[in-house]
Amino acid sequence: MKYDFINDFLSQNSEQFVTAAKAIHGFAELSLKEYKSCDFYCELLSKLGFTVTKGVCGVETAFTATYGSGSPKIAFLAEYDALAGLSQVGGITVKQEAVPGGNGHGCGHNMLGMGAAAAAYATMHWLKETGKQGTVVLVGCPGEEGGAAKAFMAKQNFFCDFDAAVTWHPGDVNTISAGGCNACIQTQYKFYGIAAHAAGCPEMGRSALDAVEMMNVGVQFLREHMPQNARIHYAITNSGGVSPNVVQPYASVLYMVRSPLVKKAVELQKRVDDIADGAALMSGCKVEKCFIDGTSDTIHNEVLCDVAYDALLMADAPQYTKAELDFAKAISETYGGACDISEYLPVGKAREVYSANCKQDGAYKAVLDFTVPHGDADSFSPGSTDVGDVSYQTPTVQVYTACFPAGAPGHSWQNVSCADSSFGYKGMIYAAKAMAITAAKLYDEPDTLAKAKSEFAVRTEGGFVSPIPDGAKPVVPEMI
């Protein structure tokens, strides 16, 4: 087959990326504090022959690793941040912390980053082998779980420089992500009042807690008069204390504003800001608005979805051992067993193929060892990702491969365990093969790339409104 070079190259060179992904799993660093992980990547990639730049776009733990010259210039996106409180020993089927109270790769970003690195390395060698012209760049994007570094990079137009971006995410099914998702803006509102004895001299007090409550009531009324598909969530992050006989001088509330269009999210955000100002005025408090992060909706690219889906079919799919299948099954039993996941797949062909293959001997398979066709531009996922901001600046596609058992809960100890298991790593190398073949097809077929770019131009005609306000800096989430 045409791209067997990539399949063979990655089969022969996968071990170093598995070892590296294990190291990142062990570091388990939180968003925007991925110092060891970033250093590890930079050292590895320069050893492999890439030109490495650390701290791109002013984000300390962001990097680029570049090989080749001229166009097409294709980016692979790497992520490597972990989640707090999810420390877990990898490759076992019981909950057991690796570091007491530590962090863990509950979203599998140790695999995500190294899968992308493996794809970039295979692409480098494919370019050398074929003598094709082009540039391949692994873009190290920190802070996906919090901080949204890609959105900050996009605010500086970083991704406009590429002809296409290819990425992936560990999942429970082999497919291509399609359609849109929600844009999301996070803002913390801090209200400052005046403390007073609540019975003795309440007239002296100005309650920050009142301000938070009035803001929340104001937003409840706003919900009646905003677009149907928008969402506003909040959490009271500081209620001012536990003493009702004190007029609370400080309180804070964290808001998330979501909409399927980033432009609309930015508009709605302004209305929420106005309500915060109103609540401060009514309560006699002061309000400080602290932007936390923002991500855009994703722009679908049908041409790239088709290329990546073909690539997924051309990539050598994992052959699992009995031990790996038993491991996935045992993991699935810890959350009630593998289940029907069809409602999370796009309506139509994807669900048909899934339904025809999802069972064995009458029971749902724990390992979805087949490939599901992608949805169309109307598919929608309600979550949010900073890959969206990339997709507004260059044609972008995301591969998914099965690294977790079917129906595994996201951000869970089960996923941390799978993220450092031979079952998970087989999914990672499968994704690397599919991504490298996707890129190779784009270097090989200028017409296909041109079509992807024309489609991108049409779908982004309305322009890009960054969800990041001018002058905002990435915020380390636990500093909120």
Distance CA 354, CA 340 (A): 9
Does 6 contact Zn ion by CB under 5 A?
no
Under the criterion CB under 5 A, does residue 148 sit at the interface with Zn ion? no
Closest-CA residue to 433 (of 174, 62, 66, 46): 174
Residue (191 or 425) nearer to Zn ion, CB: 425
Distances (CA, A) of 332 to 21, 112, 326: 23, 21, 10
What secondary structure letter does DSSP report for 252? Answer: E
Of the listed pieces 5-13, 107-115, 376-384, 434-442, which binds Zn ion according to CB under 5 A?
A: 107-115
CB-based contacts of 431: which residues, under 8 Å, 6+ apart? 111, 115, 119, 168, 170, 399, 400, 401
**Binding residues with Zn ion: total (CB under 5 A):** 1
Q: How far apart are CA 84 and CA 82, in angstroms?
A: 7
Q: How far is CA 438 from CA 138, 365, 454, in A?
A: 15, 28, 18
Options 13-21, 99-107, 228-236, 360-368: segment touching Zn ion (CB under 5 A) = 99-107
Q: Which residue is nearest to Zn ion (CB)?
A: 107
Give min distance, CB of 44 to Zn ion, in A.
Answer: 21
Of the listed pieces 29-37, 104-112, 374-382, 450-458, which binds Zn ion according to CB under 5 A? 104-112
Q: Minimum Å distance from CB 50 to Zn ion?
A: 24
CB of 385 to Zn ion, least distance (A): 8
Cβ 109 to Zn ion shortest distance, Å: 6
Helix (H, G, I), strand (E, B) or coil at 86: coil
Shortest distance in whole angstroms from residue 107 CB to Zn ion? 3
The smaller minimum CB distance to Zn ion, of residues 30 and 48, is found at 30
Helix (H) or strand (E) holding 293: strand 286-295
Q: Which residue lies nearer to Zn ion by CB, 66 or 415?
A: 415
- Could you say whether residue 24 binds Zn ion (CB under 5 A)? no
Per the document, the length of the chain is 480
In terms of CB distance, is 107 or 183 closer to Zn ion? 107
The residue among 24 and 303 lying less far from Zn ion, judged by its C-beta, is 24
Instruction: Closer to Zn ion by CB, 67 or 404: give it.
Output: 404
Query: How, if at all, do strands 250-259 and 231-238 pair?
Result: antiparallel
**Amino acid at residue number 197:** H
Dihedral of the CA atoms 314, 132, 11, 138 (nearest 10)? -100
Cα separation, 115 vs 118, whole angstroms: 5
Distances in whole angstroms, Cα of residue 79 to Cα of each of 50, 63, 111, 296, 305: 18, 11, 9, 17, 21
Q: Which is nearer to Zn ion, 107 or 151 (CB)?
A: 107
Residue number with CB closer to Zn ion (107 or 372): 107
107 binds Zn ion per the rule CB under 5 A: yes
Q: Cβ distance 374 to 309 under 8 Å? A: yes
Provide the minimum distance between the beta carbon of 435 and Zn ion in the complex, in angstroms, as a whole number.
Answer: 16
**Interhelix angle 109-130/422-444, nearest 10 degrees:** 40
Q: What tokens appear for 285 in the block?
A: 């408090």
Stretch that binds Zn ion, among 102-110, 328-336, 402-410, 432-440 (CB under 5 A): 102-110
C-beta closer to Zn ion: residue 384 or 438: 384
- Tokens at residue 39, please? 């250093």
Question: In 3-state terms, the chain is what percent helix, strand and coil (to 5)?
Answer: 40, 20, 35
- CB of 32 or CB of 107, closer to Zn ion: 107
| Residue closer to Zn ion, measured from CB, 107 or 120 | 107
**Residue 279, interface with Zn ion (CB under 5 A)?**
no
Q: Which is nearer to Zn ion, 107 or 416 (CB)?
A: 107
Concatenated DSSP letters of 147-215? T-HHHHHHHTTGGGG-SEEEEEEEESSBEE--SEE-EEEEEEEEEE-B--BTTT-GGG-B-HHHHHHHH
62 binds Zn ion (CB under 5 A): no
Q: How far is CA 179 from CA 6, 299, 382, in A?
A: 28, 7, 11
Q: Single out the residue of 99, 97, 100, 102 nearest to residue 85, CA to CA.
A: 102
> Cβ of residue 443: shortest distance to Zn ion, in angstroms?
28
Residues of this chain that interact with Zn ion (CB under 5 A) are 107
